[in-house]
Amino acid sequence: MKNFRSILKVSLLTLVVLMLARVFLYQTVKTDNFHMASTIFPGDRILINKFRAGLRLPISIVGLPGVNAPYADGIRLPYLRLPAFKKLQIQDVVAFNVPAGSDKPIDRKRIMVSRIIGVPSDTVLIQDKIVKVNQKVIPVPQKARAEYRTITDGRAISNEFLRKYDLEKPRIAADIGIFDIDLPTGVNSELEKETGVKTVRETKLFLGDVSIDYYPVSNYFMWNRDQFGTFRVPAKGMTVNLDLKTIDFYRDLIEIHEKHDVIVDFSGVHIDGKIATSYTFEKNYYFVMSDNRDNPDDSRKIGFIPEDHMIGIVTRVIWSHQNKYDYIRKFHIGRFMKRIR
């Protein structure tokens, strides 16, 4: 009986320590898509360093840790973040809660991973896929992927080729052997050697092409994945001019994240019932981009990431195992404890 109590005590203490470490120091998340390939693959269990960029204290405290865990929504603590050991910087790979409008507490929203391209007050321009921040070209990550239009003699691209390079299934552009496929640098030349492949060329969007899926939803901003901006990343204390055009770009931030009532009519922009020709931001925001640049799930589609939605910096892959895609490898032995850059 005494031994049982000792074992129970040690087990409970270990559980408490692990839970505290998860809440205040580190967190692991499993990825399930190709948006950050070839840096992070489906099935990668990644480690998030919470305290390096400033620990965000829990907001929903009644419940189990985790975005999908049960919790009671009756008690929410105000947002509070401890000072950072190091500020978030361009090229940091970060984990954050998706800012899309939801009544859930911030720390219960879905988690995404992406790479910082713009920090508060930066000026960003994406022109012909080239990213410039404060007029300086930002190099494409070494392992970034791009979309290639591939024409074959009618046959599909083999699963063996997809498995060899850990590729997502091609998207069918036309049912006559025309596909769009995301490839790492240099793999396009290998695809050209495959049996039945006729041509492989990188795709490009021009200003106004398929802009409907990109931020913001507005007839004034005909931007897309390859042509986006110029714009400034909102920063706390930064003032911007407002009119019938610019309000489309900032409305979600003012209305959803900074909790002000916005009405737009023939007389102009009204904030909290008063006519407004300018607005001063109350929070810092970030602009992020996927490493799979041409198949994005990033700020080009979901908008800016508020600072209070940031969880931490992604530092390593703990292990890699997936069951979602049956045509690629289940295990990535070489990714065990692999550092993310």
Average pLDDT rounded to a whole number, residues 284-310: 95
Structural domains in the chain, CATH included, are 145-202 (3.30.70.80)
Per-residue pLDDT at 16 exceeds 80: no
Per-residue pLDDT at 69 exceeds 90: no
Q: What pLDDT band is residue 211 in, cutting at 50, 70 and 90?
A: confident
Per-residue pLDDT at 19 exceeds 80: no
Residues 6+ away with beta carbon under 8 Å from 240 = 232, 234, 246, 250, 278, 279, 281
pLDDT score of 296: 87
pLDDT: is 265 or 19 the higher one?
265
Q: Report which of 164, 223, 231 is spatially closest to residue 193, judged by C-alpha positions.
A: 164
Per-residue pLDDT at 120 exceeds 80: yes
Lowest mean pLDDT among 79-88, 112-121, 188-197, 297-306: 79-88
